[in-house]
Structures are given as structure tokens and as C-alpha cells.
Amino acid sequence: MGLPFFTKKRKIDLPSEQPVLPKHVGIIMDGNGRWAKKRGLPRKAGHREGAQTFRTITRYCSEIGIQYLTVYAFSTENWKRPEDEVGSLMKLFKSYLEEALSDFKDDDIVVRFIGDKSGFSPELQALMRENEESSKSRDGMVLNIAMNYGSRDEIVRAVKNLCADVKSGRVEESAIDETLFSDYLYTAGQPDPDLIIRPSGEYRISNFMLWQAAYTEFVIMNKLWPDFQKSDLDEALRIYAQRNRRYGGV
């Protein structure tokens, strides 16, 4: 074991001396359906359990000093799932936005939604805005919940908005560079993810943060999301700490 790494509230043994704790962690919360199937339960039971894991891991990330956490909760492609599964996910989101997210108040967590809110019911949209409004002056970890999010969609929107600004003269074409373009994404002003974790053993990016993940370290874990524990996050952080990030250099 290497040097102990001290976080805000907890000590984790991490094996290297480089500044190891990622600023921004992304999680593709995958495997709820398989978790339920293994137990002969309906898929919605897996999502319910996954929502509990989301709550635990979000708190934990805030506790150990992660500054930004982005979780993939519902993609632009997830609407293709059977109607009753989409319906139960919407119910779950609603109950979370009504109750559980206010729990994050004690942890000082800033809640943000990335994705196209207009795809949701007016009730859900209002709850999303309420959560953003009521948490925006907190100064703890920023939690981005990706809902009706697709990275290609995000990039196309960014291009359209940027074109409109060029057309109206607000932006000079010659001023367009990677930094300016990043400001048109949902994650404007935030650092790119240092680490993306995908539980459930799938080796796919699934339309998640394609632009932002240009130099992100990926850790794939063989655990279904509802089984994912704090110790699994510790393990992902240890793996990350051993990576040698070169950003295309040597």
C-alpha cells in the first residue's frame, strides 16, 4: 500500500504520490435491469435499488472531496424502452426530486441537470428547476444529473447556438476555439471529467460526455450498479491514481 491520501473527511489508502483525487468523476449507472433479472424481479425493482446506490455514492463522493460528479440517469435513447419501464423511471425521478434530493442539502450539494429538460412532463421540469434554484448558492460538490442526455444531441445544440451567436454578431468566427465551444455545452464552466466509471462490465461510452471525455481515464468495474458500494468507488480511485495521464504528450 502506498501513501495514505487524506480527503476532507476520510482517509483512503491510495498507492501513488501524484495528486490523485479526481476533481470530476462521471458514472454510467449501468446494470439495474440485470440485477433485477438475476433475482427474478421486474426491471423497475433494479432501478429502485439503483436509485439507493445513487444516493449513497453521491453522498460519499461529496464526503471524500470530489468536486464534480456527473451521473448518467436517463439517455436520449432510453425513451425506446418499454412504456412501463419508462413510466416507472419517471415515477422514480419524481419521488427523488421531491424528497431525496432535498437530503443533499445537509451535504451542501449543488444539483444541476444536464440534458434536454423539455422532454419531460411539466411537473418534472418544474421539480428540476426547483432543485437547481434551491441548491445553486450552496458551495459543496456539484452534482450533474444527466437526464434525457445524449452527447451527440448536446454537441448539435452547441453548434446551433454558436451559429446563432455568430450570425447575430455576438461571437466572431475567428474567436471560436475549443474553450469557447466548451462554453456552449451543458457542462460550461466545469472541468472535464478526470475519471469515468462504468459498472456492470460493459466496455461502451454510450453517448456520454463525448467531447468532455477526450482525455478522461476509464475504469470498467464488474459490478452491477445496485451492488456498487463505497469500497468499489475506493477501488476505482486507486486504479485511477495509478494511471499515468499524458494528454497526448510523453
Task: Give the residues lining the site for ligand FPP (CB under 6 A).
Answer: 29-34, 47, 50-51, 54, 71, 73-74, 78, 92-93, 96, 145, 225
> d(Cα 183, Cα 172) in Å, to the nearest integer?
15
Nearer to ligand FPP (CB atom), residue 14 or residue 219: 219
Nearer to ligand FPP (CB atom), residue 99 or residue 177: 99
Nearer to ligand FPP (CB atom), residue 5 or residue 96: 96
Out of 13, 30, 108, 131, the active site residue is 30
* Least CB distance to ligand FPP at residue 97 (A): 7
Out of 78, 116, 165, 192, the active site residue is 78
> d(Cα 173, Cα 166) in Å, to the nearest integer?
6
> Could you give the angle at the alpha carbon of 185 between the alpha carbons of 180 and 189, nearest 5°?
65
* Least CB distance to ligand FPP at residue 149 (A): 11
> d(Cα 181, Cα 88) in Å, to the nearest integer?
36
Task: Give the residue at shortest CB distance from ligand FPP.
Answer: 33
**Which DSSP state fits 248?**
T
> d(Cα 58, Cα 70) in Å, to the nearest integer?
9
Residues contacting 211, CB < 8 A, separation 6+: 151, 154, 155, 181, 182, 185
Q: β-strands 11-13, 4-6: how paired?
A: antiparallel
Instruction: Transcribe 74-114 into DSSP letters.
Output: EETTGGGS-HHHHHHHHHHHHHIIIIIHHHTTTTTPEEEEE
Is 116 among the residues known to form the active site? no
* Least CB distance to ligand FPP at residue 194 (A): 21
Nearer to ligand FPP (CB atom), residue 5 or residue 72: 72
The type of residue at 83 is: E
* Least CB distance to ligand FPP at residue 50 (A): 3
Nearer to ligand FPP (CB atom), residue 92 or residue 213: 92
* Least CB distance to ligand FPP at residue 206 (A): 9
Nearest-CA neighbor of 105 among 56, 141, 73, 64? 141
Is 139 among the residues known to form the active site? no
Instruction: Kindly list the catalytic residues.
Output: 30, 78
